[in-house]
C-alpha cells in the first residue's frame, strides 16, 4: 500500500469490483482470486464469458488458470523481472500511451532506462517464462481498451514487495490505464476490513483518513475533536513492537481480534516477544494461540452480534447489523474499549455506532458524506465528501492526489533466501478456499473442518516421485527456523522444486518456517519465498493404528 | 434504438436482443417460470413461461424468444393457462409432495404454483423417481427425487462459478442431475446451486430443521471473511442463525462462497469466550467485567506511569468494524497517549 | 490392355455382412482359387434388396451382369462352377440380369423390369450396390466430383444455391425445409467462420437410408458437403454419425483420406484457394441428437440437448457461428442436381415435392429393403408393387411413416400419393423415410405403446412435457394393454397428447404423441375393446388373450404339449388336448407349433 501511496498518493483499489465484468483484458498477478476472493473471480469469469482476455502470472497452477488465455508461470519472487520485460516490450514496440505519460505522469525516462536491459530473453532467463509469452502478454495488455490488473499477497509478501508494486504501477502508467471506468490497478484486500482498519488509522504514522500524525494542522483538528493533546512522533509498527517487546522496551500490549502467533512470520520469534511482555491483553472471540499467552482475555462479540460497518476491498462502506446476542458475558469490542477508556479517566460517550461513524466523517472528508441512514440502501464507496455525493466507483478520474503520478525505476532483487543444497525447495505460503486466515473461525465450522481437516504441503508429482513420497504420506518440512510435520498432497499446482503450505493450521503452522525478513518500506514479511527441505517420515505406527 | 411491441395489449419497448420474458419483467408483467434466472442463459426447459404470439402457430417460451418489432404477445390465454397447469400437474406427479417436512416449504416455487393453480388433485400418476444415495459432502444435501430438472444448478455451476461439477445424466424420465459417474460432489461447495434451486432438491446440510419461514427474521449484513464484502442475509430464528442467503440485487449479485454461505457455525461454537479471564499463577480464572476492566486499566496506568505511554502498544484487527478500529486507535492515542498502534493489513 | 476377367461382386453392406456375406466372399475366393479360375473378386454395398441377402453378382465379360440372391455356401460353389467357370448362369438362384453390361441370357428377368425395381427411380442410390465404396476411382468413373469441379470452377458461391433452389430440393431429414433457401440464409449471414454439418444421426427404428448411402457412396456425401461449404462460405464440415454405424464411419474415413489425396479436400481444394476439411464426430446413438440444436451441442462436447429456436443454426449454430445442417440423403442429391441440372431433378416428383425419396421398407412386407421412388407414387404401389404385398396372405392394416414422430395410414389411404403435402394431409409425415407395414396381427395400441416407449427412453429430459408427459402417456397405454384401462383414459390420452405437442421444446416431444393420436383417430375401436371389453382384437396383448384348443380339429399329436414351457397342456395321444389357463404364460409356443390350426388365440 505504501508503494501505491508513493506513486499515486493513495493506495486503494482504483476500480470497483462490478466494473471487472467490463474489462477486456484482465491481468491477474500474485492473486489466487478464485480461492481467496471468490466473488471477484466470478466477475472475472463473467468478463471472460463476454470475451475478455485473461492473463495469469502465477508460479502455481491456481484454479483460475483453467480459464486463462495466457499463463505466465514465473519463478517465485521474479515478478519485477517479468514486469520489467513486459515494459521493455511495450516501449520497444511502441505500445505505450504517450499522451497519458506526458499529461499525467513524471519520471518516465528513468523508469524506461531501468527496463532497457530487460529484453524478453533476459526476462525468460530470470523468470522461466518463455520470451514469446512475455511478448504476447505485453501485446494483449497494451491492446486492451479496458485493461485492469489485480494482485494480492503474491505481490506484496516479499522482501521486495514494494518494488513489485512499483513495477505494476509502471505498467498501468505506461499504458495509460487509469482514471477511467474498468481500467486500473487493483490490490484485492485479503480480510473483510483491511481497508477499513487502514482508513481508521490503526497505523503508527497517521490519524484516520491517512492524515499524518506529524502534520500540525491535522493533529490540531484531532486534538480539537478529542479534546486532548496528541503525540506528533510516529509510533511503532507491529514488527517493531515485537522486537521492542523482546528488547524489554515495550511493556504492555493490547491486542484486539488479532492472532500474531499464527499469522506472523517466524513463530518462534513472535512467541518469545509476547512472552517477554509485562502485560498482555487479548480481546477476541476465541481462545487463540495468542490469547493463551495473555494476562487478561476479554470476550468479544462476533460480526453477527454487533452493529457497525466494514469497508470492503473496493472502498465500499457497508453496514454490519446485529442479528443475535453474544454468548454469555461477551461484549462488543466498542463497549469494552469505552469501558476501559472510562476506567482510565477519558469519557467516550456514544449512543450507538452511527455516532462513532459520524465522528469519523467530521474528521475525514472522504467519508463525510456517508452515514448510517444512507447505508440503509446499500454500501457507499468513498471518496464521498458530501451527503448528496453518490460515492466513487473508480479513482483518479481527473488527477492523482499527488498531482502527477510517479514512475519508478525498479531494479530486480532476488528473494533473500533462495534454495541451496541443504534447503533445496522454495516454500510459498498462502490461503486455501475452505479455511480462513488463522482458522479461528473456519476451524470451528464442522462442515468446513470435515472437508479441509488437515494441514498439508503441496508437492509436485515429479519431486514426490523422485523422493518416493506418496500422496497422503507424512513429511517433515524444515527451514533454518524450525520444522513442522504434515501430510503430503501430491499435485501439479506447484512447480517442480516448489512446495506450498496453507497457513491456517496451528498444528503445522507454516509460519514456523517462514523467513522474518521484511520489505524495507511496507514492513510486509517475505511469506511467499523461503528455502526448505523435505524429509519423508517412516511411520509404521500409522499402519498399526 | 428500442424495439416496440405489445404485451397483453400494453405497448412496451426494449433493447434489441431482449427476450419476451425480460421485457415483460421490466414492465412488471408477471409470467410464471421455474427454470429461468436472469443471471443465467435462457434455458426453455420448464415450459411454464409459454405465451401466445400473434402469427406463431404454437405457444412459445417467452424466456427464449427474442422480441421483434410489432410483436403482439399474450401472456394469459385459456390455452397457455391450460398448458401451464398440465406442466405443473406433470411435475407434481413425479414429486414426493412431502411439503409437511420439506426444508423448503413456504419457500418453494413448485409449491407456490400448485397453490396458485389450485392443484389439489392430479390427472396424472405413475412411476416416481426415488433415489436413496446420500452424497458424502458435508455442505449440500441433495434430494434428487425433488429435482424438477430446471437445470439452474447445472448452469450456475458452469456459467457463473466456472466449475461444471454437475450435469444431467441419463435419458427420458430417468434424467438426473449428478456429478460425473454419480460420484460424491467434489467442488468448491459455494452453494450457488442451492441458492438457485426452486424446490427442496438442494439445501444446506446444516440448515436442516433450523427453521423455514415462520418465525424467521432476515437481517442484512456484511460477510466477515474476505475483502469481497458480500452482503449476507442472516435468517435468524430466536437467537440462532438458521441459514444464510444473499439477494441477487446486491453488489455480489447474490453469489457467495463456501465460507460466506456455510461458515457461520463458529458463532455458536462452544469454544466461544463467554466471560473475562484473568491469569493468576499461570492459570486463567473467570472474572466479572468490573474486575477485568479495572484490573486492565490499573496495569495500563502503571506501565504508563512507570515507563511513559510509549511502553504501551496496541494491535488492532482487520476483522473488527470501522467503528471499533476508530475507537481502538482513539483509545491508544487519546487515552494511552501513544502512536504505537498497528493492524495486520499486511497478512 | 489386360484381358478382361470375370467379375464376382459380393454385397458387403451391413445388411449383407449380417446375412453372412463375409463367409460367402471368403468361400468365393477360395473356390475360384481351387478351381484355378482367374477372377476379379470385389465387394460393393447394399443395393437395397435386403429381403434377398446375401447378394452376389457375376459379370462375364461381354455379358449381362447377373444378380443372385439368398446366396448360401452351396449356392456360391455352384455359381462359381457353373457361371464363373462356364458362363452358364444358375437359374435357381438368379434374381435378374442387367443388360447394360452386355449380351443377355435367355430366361432371366431384366433387373430394371422386375416389379421391385421398375417403379423405383435411383438418384441417391444410383451408386449403391454398383461401385466399390472404398474406391475413389469407382466414384469418379461414375461422374463423381464433376459437380465440385463445376461449382468451384465457376467461382460463384451463389450459382449452386440458385440451382438447388430451382431444383425444389427439400430437406430429406424429415422437416422438408427447402435446401436452397437454408443455404441462402447461411450464405447471407456475416461471420468469420461458418460450418456445414452432415446429419447422419439416423435414429428412427427400422430406418437405415443414411447408413446405406454412407456405406455405399461416401464420396457423394463429401461432394455434397464440398458444394454446400463453398456455397455458404464454410471451410469446415462435420459429419455427425452415430457410433453404431462402424462400417459407415470406416468407409467415410477412407473416402475422406482419398479425397484429401486427390486434393478434393484440404487447404487448397483443386488449387482454387478454397479451403475445406471434414471431421467425423461419432455420436453416442441418442435419437434426440438428430435434432439439429442437440446435434450442435453434442459436437461442442456438451450433453446433446436441444435449445429453443430462434436463433436458427443458419444464424447461430456450431460454436455460435452460422451453420447449415443437411441430412445425408439431401447431400447425396446435391452432386447429381449440379451435374444434371435443376430441371432434370424437378422432372421427378410432384408440384411441391420434387425429386425422389429413399424409404426403408420394413415390417410385414414380402420384399423389405431400401427403395427410392419418385415423389408422388402411391402407398399402394410401394407396398404391393415394389414390396410385393403382405406375407402369408394376411390383410394389410396400416403403414407407419415418419417413425416415432409420424403416424399410421390405413387401408383406406393406400392410394395417397407419397409426397410431403399428401402424407401430411392424410395425417402422418414423410419423415426421414422409415416405412413400417402392419397387418391384421398387429395391435395398434401395442404399436403406439412401442413408439412411446421409444420416444420416452430417448427424451433428453430437458423439458417437462416430454420428460414426464411421454412417461405418463406410456403408462396409460401400458395399463390399457394390461386390461387395466379405465373410462376416461382415451380422453386423458388426447388431452395430454395435445398439451405435449403444444408445449414441448423440440420436435421429439412435439411429435411424440403422433403415434397415439393417429392410431386413436384410425383405430379407436381397438382402444375401446381393450378398455371396455378387456379384449385385444389382434390378440397381441398377453394379459388380454387366452389360448384354447379347438377340440374338433385337435388331432392329439402332442406337439403343443411338448412345446409348452410350463406344462400347461395336458391330454392323451390322439385325443384332444387341453390348456390349463392358470398355468399358461401366453407365450404362444403352442399356437406356433400346431400344424392343424387347432390352437385358438383370442
A242, A249, A303, A511, best to mutate vs chain B, most B CBs in 10 Å: A303
The answer to whether residues B295 and B246 belong to one domain is no
Residue B52, chain C, CB below 8 Å: the answer is: no
Cell reading at B203 = 439445501
Domain boundary among B76, B107, B142: B76
Of A359, A367, A104, A91, which is closest to residue A210 (Cα–Cα)? A367
Chains C and A touch (3+ CB pairs under 8 A): no
Instruction: Give me the residue from A37, A251, A340 closest to B303, CB to CB.
Output: A251
Residue B301, chain C, CB below 8 Å: the answer is: no
Report the number of distinct structural domains present in chain B.
3
How far the first Cα of chain A sits from its last, in Å, is 50
Domain boundary among B226, B248, B272: B272
Cell reading at A100 = 497519458
Residue B273, chain A, CB below 8 Å: the answer is: yes
Pairing assessment for the beta strands A474-479 and A252-256 based on DSSP bridges: unpaired
Spell out the residues 6+ positions from residue C112 whose beta carbon is closer than 8 angstroms to its own.
C98, C118
Q: Which CATH number fits the domain that encloses residue B26?
A: 3.10.20.740
**Under CATH, which number does the domain C136-344 receive?**
3.40.50.11540
Instruction: Measure the CA–CA gap between B56 and B54, rounded to whole angstroms.
Output: 6
CB pairs under 8 A between B and C: 110
Instruction: Give me the residue from B45, B83, B170 closest to C462, CB to CB.
Output: B45
Q: Count CA within 13 A, CB hemisphere, residue B21.
A: 23
The answer to whether residues B255 and B229 belong to one domain is yes
pLDDT for the residue numbered C310: 83
Q: Which residues of B touch C464 (CB under 8 A)?
A: 45-47, 87, 90-91, 148-149
Q: Which residues of B touch A310 (CB under 8 A)?
A: 222, 224, 229, 321-322
Residue C275, chain B, CB below 8 Å: the answer is: no
pLDDT for the residue numbered A405: 84
pLDDT for the residue numbered A94: 92
Per-residue pLDDT of chain A (545 residues; tens, 9 = 90+): 567 777 777 778 888 999 999 999 999 998 889 988 999 999 999 999 999 999 999 988 999 999 999 999 998 888 889 999 999 999 999 999 989 898 888 888 888 888 889 999 999 999 999 999 999 999 999 999 999 999 988 888 877 788 888 888 889 999 988 888 999 988 888 888 888 988 898 889 899 998 999 999 999 999 999 999 999 999 998 888 999 999 999 999 999 998 888 777 678 888 999 999 999 999 999 999 899 999 999 999 999 999 999 999 889 999 999 999 999 999 999 999 999 999 999 999 899 999 999 999 999 999 999 999 999 999 999 899 999 999 988 888 888 888 888 888 888 887 888 888 889 998 888 887 777 777 777 888 888 888 888 888 999 999 999 988 999 899 999 888 888 888 999 999 998 989 998 888 777 777 888 887 777 777 777 788 888 888 888 765 544 43
Encode A218-251: b = buried (16+ Cβ within 10 Å), e = exposed.
bbebbeeebeeebbeeebbbbbbbbebbbeeebb
Residue C431: helix, strand or coil by DSSP?
Answer: coil
pLDDT mean over B107-112: 94
pLDDT mean over B119-126: 91
Of A363, A344, A347, which is closest to residue B322 (Cα–Cα)? A363
Cell reading at B163 = 466449475
Domain boundary among B272, B287, B311: B272
Instruction: Measure the CA–CA gap between A242 and A516, rounded to whole angstroms.
Output: 12
Side by side, which strands form the sheet with B50-53?
Answer: B10-15, B2-7, B72-74, B50-53, B60-61
Instruction: Measure the CA–CA gap between A410 and A138, rounded to whole angstroms.
Output: 18
Which chains form contacts with chain B, at 3 or more CB pairs under 8 Å? A, C
Residue C27: CB atoms within 10 A of its CB come to 20
Calculate ∠ Cα B141-B142-B144, nearest 5°: 155
Spell out the residues 6+ positions from residue C60 whose beta carbon is closer than 8 angstroms to its own.
C6, C83, C84, C87, C102
Cell reading at A187 = 490490490
Give the distance from residue C472's alpha carbon to the nearest chain B alpha carbon, in angstroms: 7
CB contact under 8 A, C471 and B167: no
Cell reading at B55 = 402469427
Strand-pairing partners, residue C6, are C39
CB contact under 8 A, B175 and C503: no
Closest CA in chain B for residue A187 = B227
pLDDT digits (tens, 9 = 90+) for B190-233: 999 999 999 999 999 999 889 998 999 999 999 998 889 999 99
The answer to whether residues B13 and B62 belong to one domain is yes
CB contact under 8 A, B138 and A313: no
Instruction: Measure the CA–CA gap between A302 and C50, rounded to whole angstroms.
Output: 80
pLDDT for the residue numbered C1: 44
* Helix, strand, coil in percent for chain B, rounding step 5: 30, 20, 50
CB contact under 8 A, C461 and B83: no
Interface of B with A in 218-247 (CB under 8 A): 219-231, 234, 236, 239-241
Closest CA in chain C for residue B172 = C459
pLDDT digits (tens, 9 = 90+) for A173-224: 999 888 889 999 888 888 888 889 888 988 898 999 989 999 999 999 999 9
Residue B127 belongs to a domain: no
Of B331, B222, B304, which is closest to residue A202 (Cα–Cα)? B331
pLDDT digits (tens, 9 = 90+) for A39-59: 999 999 999 999 999 999 998
pLDDT digits (tens, 9 = 90+) for A133-152: 999 999 999 999 999 999 98
Interface of A with B in 298-317 (CB under 8 A): 298-300, 302-306, 308-314, 316-317
Total residue length of chain A = 545
Helical (H) or strand (E) element with C435: strand C434-439
Residue A157, chain B, CB below 8 Å: the answer is: yes
Instruction: Give me the residue from A157, A233, A263 closest to B339, CB to CB.
Output: A233
Residue B175 belongs to a domain: no
Residue B336: CB atoms within 10 A of its CB come to 27
Helical (H) or strand (E) element with A533: strand A530-536
CB contact under 8 A, A39 and B335: no
- Complex confidence, ipTM: 0.91
Residue B173, chain A, CB below 8 Å: the answer is: no
Q: Are B276 and B288 in contact (CB under 8 A)?
A: yes
Residue B197 belongs to a domain: no
Chains B and A touch (3+ CB pairs under 8 A): yes
Residue C471, chain B, CB below 8 Å: the answer is: yes
Which residues, given as ranges, of chain C have pLDDT below 50? Answer: 1
Residue A507: CB atoms within 10 A of its CB come to 10
For C6-113, give the CATH class.
alpha beta
Residue C511, chain B, CB below 8 Å: the answer is: no
* Comma-separated ranges of CATH 2.40.40.20 domains in chain A: 425-544
The domain limits of chain C are 6-113, 136-344, 356-439, 444-532, 546-601
Closest CA in chain B for residue A68 = B162
Domain C444-532 in CATH 1.20.1260.10: no
Q: Which residues of A touch B208 (CB under 8 A)?
A: none
CB contact under 8 A, C464 and B170: no
**Using the 8-state DSSP alphabet, how is residue A200 labeled?**
T
Domain containing B26 equals: 2-76
Q: Which residues of A touch B264 (CB under 8 A)?
A: 304, 445
Percentage of the residues of chain B whose pLDDT score is greater than 70? 99
CB pairs under 8 A between A and B: 452
Instruction: Measure the CA–CA gap between B25 and B62, rounded to whole angstroms.
Output: 11
Q: Are B193 and B202 in contact (CB under 8 A)?
A: yes
Instruction: Give me the residue from C468, C492, C503 closest to B123, CB to CB.
Output: C492
Closest CA in chain C for residue B125 = C472
Q: Which residues of A touch B274 (CB under 8 A)?
A: 299, 327-330
Domain C546-601 in CATH 3.40.50.300: no
Q: Assign B345 a pLDDT band (cuts: 50, 70, 90).
A: low
CATH fold of C356-439: Ubiquitin-like (UB roll) (3.10.20)
Interface of A with B in 209-238 (CB under 8 A): 213, 222, 226, 228, 230-231, 233-238
Q: Which residues of C touch B33 (CB under 8 A)?
A: none
For A2-188, give the CATH class.
alpha beta
pLDDT for the residue numbered C237: 95
Cell reading at A234 = 510516529
Cell reading at B69 = 418489432
C310, C453, C467, C506, best to mutate vs chain B, most B CBs in 10 Å: C467
* Comma-separated ranges of CATH 3.40.228.10 domains in chain A: 2-188
Domain A425-544 in CATH 2.40.40.20: yes
Q: How far is CA B251 from the centre of its chain?
A: 14
Q: How far is CA B177 from the centre of its chain?
A: 19
Amino acid at each position: 500500500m505504501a508503494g501505491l501511496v508513493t506513486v499515486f498518493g493513495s493506495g486503494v483499489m482504483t476500480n470497483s469490483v462490478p466494473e471487472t465484468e467490463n474489462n477486456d483484458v484482465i491481468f491477474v498477478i500474485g492473486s489466487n482470486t478464485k480461492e481467496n476472493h471468490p466473488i471477484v473471480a466470478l466477475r472475472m469469469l463473467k468478463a471472460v464469458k463476454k470475451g475478455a482476455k485473461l492473463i495469469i502470472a502465477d508460479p502455481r497452477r491456481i484454479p483460475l488458470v483453467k480459464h486463462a488465455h495466457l499463463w505466465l508461470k514465473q519463478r517465485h519472487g521474479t515478478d519485477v523481472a517479468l514486469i520489467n520485460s513486459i515494459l521493455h516490450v511495450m516501449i520497444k514496440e511502441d505500445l505505450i500511451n504517450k499522451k497519458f505519460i506526458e499529461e499525467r505522469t513524471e519520471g518516465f525516462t528513468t523508469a524506461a532506462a531501468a527496463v532497457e536491459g530487460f529484453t524478453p530473453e533476459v526476462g525468460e532467463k530470470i523468470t522461466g517464462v518463455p520470451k514469446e509469452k512475455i511478448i504476447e502478454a505485453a501485446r494483449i495488455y497494451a491492446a486492451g481498451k479496458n485493461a485492469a490488473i489485480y494482485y494480492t499477497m503474491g505481490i506484496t509478501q516479499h522482501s521486495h514487495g514494494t518494488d513489485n508494486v512499483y513495477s505494476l504501477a509502471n505498467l498501468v502508467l505506461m499504458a495509460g490505464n487509469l482514471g477511467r471506468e474498468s481500467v486500473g490497478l487493483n490490490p484485492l484486500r485479503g480480510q473483510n476490513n483491511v481497508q477499513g482498519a487502514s482508513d481508521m488509522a490503526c497505523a503508527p504514522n497517521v490519524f484516520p483518513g491517512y492524515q499524518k500524525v506529524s502534520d500540525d494542522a491535522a493533529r490540531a483538528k484531532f486534538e480539537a475533536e478529542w479534546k486532548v493533546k496528541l503525540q506528533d512522533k510516529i509510533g511503532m509498527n507491529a514488527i517493531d513492537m515485537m522486537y521492542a517487546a523482546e528488547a524489554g522496551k515495550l511493556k504492555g500490549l493490547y491486542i484486539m481480534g488479532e492472532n500474531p502467533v499464527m499469522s506472523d512470520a517466524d513463530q518462534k520469534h513472535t512467541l518469545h516477544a509476547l512472552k517477554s511482555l509485562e502485560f498482555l491483553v487479548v480481546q477476541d472471540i476465541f481462545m487463540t494461540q495468542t490469547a493463551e499467552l495473555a494476562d487478561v482475555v476479554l470476550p468479544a462479540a462476533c460480526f453477527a452480534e454487533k452493529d457497525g460497518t466494514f469497508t470492503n476491498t473496493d472502498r465500499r462502506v457497508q453496514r454490519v447489523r446485529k442479528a443475535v446476542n453474544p454468548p454469555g458475558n461477551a461484549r462488543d469490542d466498542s463497549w469494552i474499549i469505552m469501558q476501559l477508556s472510562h476506567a482510565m479517566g477519558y469519557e467516550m460517550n456514544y449512543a450507538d455506532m452511527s455516532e462513532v461513524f459520524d465522528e469519523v466523517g467530521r474528521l475525514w472528508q472522504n467519508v463525510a458524506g456517508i452515514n448510517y441512514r444512507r447505508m440503509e440502501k446499500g454500501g457507499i464507496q468513498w471518496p464521498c465528501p458530501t451527503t448528496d455525493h453518490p460515492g466513487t466507483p473508480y479513482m483518479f478520474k481527473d488527477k492523482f492526489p499527488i498531482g502527477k503520478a510517479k514512475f519508478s525505476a525498479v531494479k530486480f532483487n532476488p528473494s533473500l533466501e533462495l534454495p541451496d543444497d541443504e534447503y533445496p525447495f522454495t516454500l510459498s505460503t498462502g490461503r486455501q478456499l475452505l479455511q480462513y486466515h488463522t482458522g479461528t473461525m473456519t476451524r470451528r465450522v464442522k462442515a468446513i473442518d470435515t472437508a479441509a481437516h488437515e494441514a498439508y504441503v503441496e508437492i509436485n508429482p515429479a519431486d514426490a516421485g523422485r523422493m518416493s513420497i506418496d500422496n497422503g504420506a507424512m513429511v517433515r518440512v524444515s527451514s533454518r527456523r524450525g520444522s513442522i510435520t504434515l501430510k503430503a498432497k501430491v499435485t501439479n499446482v506447484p512447480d517442480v522444486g516448489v512446495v506450498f503450505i496453507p497457513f491456517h493450521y496451528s498444528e503445522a503452522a507454516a509460519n514456523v518456517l517462514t523467513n522474518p525478513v521484511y520489505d524495507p518500506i511496507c514492513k510486509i514479511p517475505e511469506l511467499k519465498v523461503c528455502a526448505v527441505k523435505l524429509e519423508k517420515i517412516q511411520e509404521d505406527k500409522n499402519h498399526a493404528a | 434504438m428500442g424495439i416496440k411491441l405489445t404485451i397483453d395489449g400494453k405497448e412496451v419497448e426494449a433493447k434489441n436482443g431482449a427476450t419476451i420474458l425480460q421485457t415483460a419483467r421490466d414492465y412488471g408483467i408477471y409470467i410464471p417460470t421455474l427454470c429461468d434466472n436472469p443471471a443465467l442463459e435462457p434455458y426453455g426447459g420448464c415450459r411454464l413461461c409459454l405465451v401466445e404470439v400473434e402469427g406463431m402457430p404454437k405457444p412459445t417460451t417467452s424466456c427464449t424468444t427474442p422480441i421483434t418489432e410489432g410483436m403482439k404477445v399474450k401472456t394469459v390465454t385459456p390455452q397457455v393457462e391450460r398448458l401451464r397447469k398440465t406442466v405443473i400437474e406433470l411435475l407434481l406427479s413425479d414429486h414426493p409432495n412431502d411439503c409437511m417436512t420439506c426444508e423448503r416449504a413456504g419457500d418453494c416455487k413448485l409449491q407456490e404454483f400448485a397453490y396458485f393453480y389450485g392443484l389439489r388433485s392430479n390427472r396424472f400418476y405413475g412411476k416416481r423417481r426415488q433415489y436413496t444415495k446420500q452424497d458424502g459432502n458435508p455442505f449440500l444435501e441433495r434430494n434428487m427425487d425433488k429435482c424438477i430438472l430446471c437445470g439452474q444448478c447445472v448452469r450456475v455451476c458452469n456459467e457463473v462459478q466456472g466449475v461444471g461439477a454437475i450435469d444431467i445424466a441419463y435419458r427420458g424420465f430417468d434424467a438426473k442431475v449428478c456429478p460425473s459417474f454419480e460420484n460424491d460432489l467434489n467442488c468448491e461447495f459455494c452453494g450457488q446451486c442451492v441458492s438457485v434451486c426452486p424446490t427442496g432438491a438442494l439445501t444446506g446440510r446444516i440448515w436442516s430443521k433450523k427453521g423455514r419461514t415462520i418465525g424467521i427474521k432476515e437481517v442484512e449484513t456484511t460477510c466477515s471473511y474476505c475483502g469481497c464484502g458480500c452482503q449476507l442475509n442472516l435468517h435468524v430464528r430466536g437467537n440462532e442463525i438458521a441459514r444464510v442467503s444473499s439477494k441477487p440485487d446486491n453488489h455480489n449479485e447474490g453469489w457467495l462462497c463456501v465460507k460466506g454461505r456455510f461458515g457461520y457455525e463458529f458463532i455458536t461454537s462452544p469454544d466461544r469466550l463467554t466471560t473475562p479471564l484473568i491469569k493468576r499463577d499461570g492459570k486463567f480464572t473467570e472474572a466479572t467485567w468490573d474486575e477485568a476492566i479495572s484490573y486492565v486499566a490499573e496495569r495500563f496506568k502503571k506501565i504508563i506511569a512507570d515507563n511513559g505511554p510509549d511502553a504501551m502498544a496496541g494491535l488492532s484487527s482487520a476483522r473488527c468494524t470501522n467503528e471499533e478500529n476508530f475507537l481502538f486507535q482513539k483509545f491508544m492515542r487519546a487515552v494511552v497517549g501513544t502512536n504505537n498502534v498497528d493492524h495486520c493489513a499486511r497478512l | 490392355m489386360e484381358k478382361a476377367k470375370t467379375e464376382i461382386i459380393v454385397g458387403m453392406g451391413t445388411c449383407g455382412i449380417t446375412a453372412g456375406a463375409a463367409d460367402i466372399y471368403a468361400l468365393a475366393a477360395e473356390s475360384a482359387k481351387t478351381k484355378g479360375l482367374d477372377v476379379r473378386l470385389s465387394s460393393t454395398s447394399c443395393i437395397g434388396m435386403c429381403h434377398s441377402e446375401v447378394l452376389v453378382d457375376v459379370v462375364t465379360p461381354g455379358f449381362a451382369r447377373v444378380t443372385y440372391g439368398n446366396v448360401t455356401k452351396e449356392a456360391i460353389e455352384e455359381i462359381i462352377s457353373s457361371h464363373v467357370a462356364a458362363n452358364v448362369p444358375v437359374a435357381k438362384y438368379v434374381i435378374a440380369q442387367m443388360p447394360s453390361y452386355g449380351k443377355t441370357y435367355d430366361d432371366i428377368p431384366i433387373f430394371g423390369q422386375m416389379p421391385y425395381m421398375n417403379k423405383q427411380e435411383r438418384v441417391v442410390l444410383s451408386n449403391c450396390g454398383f461401385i466399390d465404396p472404398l474406391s475413389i476411382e469407382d466414384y469418379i468413373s461414375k461422374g463423381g466430383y464433376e459437380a465440385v469441379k463445376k461449382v468451384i470452377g465457376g467461382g460463384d458461391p451463389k450459382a449452386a444455391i440458385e440451382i438447388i433452389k430451382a431444383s425444389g430440393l427439400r430437406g430429406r431429414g424429415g422437416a422438408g425445409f427447402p435446401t436452397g433457401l437454408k443455404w441462402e440464409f447461411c450464405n447471407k449471414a456475416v461471420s468469420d467462420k461458418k460450418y456445414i454439418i452432415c446429419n447422419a444421426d439416423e435414429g428412427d427404428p427400422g430406418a437405415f437410408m443414411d447408413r446405406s448411402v454412407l456405406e455405399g457412396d461416401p464420396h457423394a456425401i463429401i461432394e455434397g458437403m464440398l458444394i454446400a461449404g463453398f456455397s455458404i462460405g464454410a471451410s469446415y464440415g462435420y459429419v455427425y454419425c452415430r457410433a453404431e454405424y462402424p462400417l459407415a464411419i470406416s468407409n467415410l474415413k477412407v473416402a475422406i483420406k482419398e479425397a484429401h489425396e486427390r486434393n478434393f479436400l484440404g487447404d487448397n481444394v483443386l488449387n482454387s484457394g478454397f479451403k475445406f476439411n471434414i471431421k467425423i464426430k461419432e455420436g453416442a446413438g441418442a435419437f434426440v441428437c438428430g435434432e439439429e440444436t442437440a446435434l450442435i451441442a453434442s459436437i461442442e462436447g456438451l450433453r446433446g440437448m436441444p435449445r429453443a429456436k430462434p436463433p436458427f443454426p443458419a444464424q447461430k449454430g456450431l460454436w455460435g457461428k452460422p451453420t447449415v445442417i443437411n441430412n445425408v440423403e439431401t447431400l447425396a442429391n446435391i452432386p447429381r442436381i449440379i451435374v444434371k441440372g435443376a430441371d432434370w431433378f424437378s422432372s421427378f416428383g410432384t408440384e411441391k415435392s420434387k425429386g425422389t425419396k429413399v424409404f426403408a421398407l420394413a415390417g410385414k412386407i414380402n420384399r423389405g429393403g431400401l427403395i427410392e421412388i419418385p415423389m408422388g407414387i402411391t402407398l399402394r404401389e410401394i407396398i404391393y408393387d415394389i414390396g410385393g404385398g403382405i406375407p402369408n396372405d394376411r390383410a394389410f392394416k396400416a403403414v407407419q411413416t415418419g417413425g416415432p414422430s409420424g403416424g399410421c395410414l390405413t387401408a383406406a389411404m393406400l392410394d395417397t400419393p407419397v409426397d410431403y403435402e399428401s402424407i401430411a394431409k392424410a395425417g402422418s409425415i414423410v419423415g426421414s423415410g422409415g416405412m413400417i407395414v402392419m397387418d391384421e396381427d398387429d395391435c395398434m395400441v401395442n404399436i403406439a405403446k412401442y413408439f412411446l416407449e421409444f420416444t420416452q427412453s430417448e427424451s433428453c429430459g430437458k423439458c417437462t412435457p416430454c420428460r414426464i408427459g411421454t412417461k405418463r402417456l406410456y403408462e396409460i397405454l401400458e395399463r390399457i394393454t394390461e386390461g387395466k384401462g379405465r373410462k376416461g383414459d382415451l380422453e386423458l390420452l388426447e388431452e395430454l397428447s395435445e398439451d405435449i405437442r403444444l408445449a414441448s421444446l423440440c420436435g421429439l416431444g412435439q411429435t411424440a404423441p403422433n403415434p397415439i393420436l393417429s392410431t386413436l383417430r384410425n383405430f379407436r375401436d381397438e382402444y375401446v375393446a381393450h378398455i371396455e371389453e378387456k379384449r385385444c382384437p389382434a390378440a397381441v396383448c398377453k394379459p388380454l388373450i387366452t389360448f384354447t384348443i379347438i377340440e374338433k380339429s385337435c388331432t392329439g399329436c402332442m406337439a403343443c404339449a411338448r412345446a409348452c414351457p410350463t406344462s400347461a397342456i395336458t391330454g392323451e395321444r390322439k385325443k384332444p388336448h387341453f390348456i390349463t389357463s392358470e398355468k399358461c404364460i401366453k407365450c404362444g409356443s403352442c399356437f406356433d407349433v400346431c400344424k392343424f390350426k387347432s390352437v385358438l388365440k383370442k
